[in-house]
Structure 1
Amino acid sequence: MYLQSIKEGNKTVEVRLNDEKRRKIKIGDTIEFVKVPEENETLRVKVTELRKYDNFKGMYEDIPFQEFDCEGWTIEDMIEGTYQIYTPEQEKNGIHWLLK
C-alpha cells in the first residue's frame, strides 16, 4: 500500500525514528523501500529535505496530511496509526521526517 502510494507520487514524505542509523541519512542520499509483506518489489528515492521533530504531534501539526497520503484524517487518527508502528517510548528519541 505505502510503496504504491510513494510510487504514484501521492505519499511524498516518510517518517523514521531519530535512531543511530537514521541520523546518518543526509540530503541527496538514496533510500530503498521494499513492498511488504511480499518483498517482491522495491523503490529507490532520493532524500531532498530532512526535518527533525520532538514528537509525532508536532510533526503532524506542521506537515499537511495529504503529503502522507492521509487527506481527511484527523491528528488523532495520524498519531494512533503511527503508534501502531512506533511506541511512545521510541518516540522519545525524536523523529526524522524525510521529503522525497
Structure 2
Amino acid sequence: MGISGSLVGAYVLAGEINRHPGDLPTALANYDSVLRPFVDEIQGEVNPRLLRLGMPMTQRAIDAFQAATALACFLHVPDLAARFSKEDRGGSWQLPDNPVPISAV
C-alpha cells in the first residue's frame, strides 16, 4: 500500500491546496484530517517486526531478501495472495472529489 498511499496522499494534498490556495496551514490541516482515516486503516495491522524483514541491513541479508523476492515473483506468490485475500486494505474510506480549477483548463 506504499505507492497507493503516496498517490492518494498527493491527490488529497493537491485538492486541499487548490481549495485553500492562500492559506497553506488550513490546507495542511484539512489534508491531515481527510487522509488520517485512510492512513490509519492501511497501517492499522502492520507488525513492526515484519517491516524489519523488508529492510535488510547487511549485504548477506540484502542478497537473501532479493533471492526470496525473486523466487516469490517467479512463483506468482503476490498474485495468489491478492486473489485469495478477502481484506480490502482501504476499508470504507472514499477518495474525495477534487474538481479541476478553472485556471487549469
Smaller-chain TM-score bracket = under 0.3
| Structure showing greater relative contact order (alpha-carbon pairs closer than 8 Å, 6 or more residues apart) | 1
Which of 1 and 2 has greater Rg?
2
The structure whose residues are more often helix, as a share, is: 2
TM-score (norm 2): 0.24
TM-score (norm 1): 0.25
The structure whose residues are more often strand, as a share, is: 1
